[in-house]
Copies of this chain bind each other. A is one copy, B any other.
Amino acid sequence: MKIQKYSDIQPTYFDSDIAKGVAGRVLIGKDDGADNFCMRVFELSKGGYTPRHSHDWEHEIFIYSGKGAVFNNGKWLNVESGYSIFIPRDEEHQLKNISDEPFLFVCLIPSGVSEL
């Protein structure tokens, strides 16, 4: 069993034109022997956003804290703490922070793709 607090993990930062103000952490992955799926946490600072893209694997997301929006089929839909989002494979998506507070979400992916 592996138990940890997300904030005790050193994040990887993403800051560019396509992904701004993003801190990513792998909580449970292949190094832990998790060979079916992988748990990450992403923290978006004020004004932060993830890339707008699609890929051939799904996301299962749970919003941990804060307020954000998810791009879906040409529209931005608001989400906040306590929401889940299922993004099927090959569906274009992007998440952004829409408040002054950090926006944090747990995002799971199947094994076999890049963990971060």
Contact = CB atoms under 8 A, between A and B. Distances in A.
Interface in A56-79: 58, 60, 62, 64, 70, 72-73, 77, 79
Interface string A1-20: 11111110000000000000
Interface residues on A, range: 35 or more
A93 interface: yes
Interface in A85-116: 85-88, 91, 93, 106, 108, 110
Contacts of A36: 36-37, 58, 110
Q: How many copies does the complex hold?
A: 2
Nearest to A35: B58
14 contacts: A1-B72, A1-B88, A1-B93, A3-B85, A5-B83, A6-B83, A7-B82, A27-B60, A33-B88, A34-B58, A37-B108, A39-B60, A39-B62, A108-B108
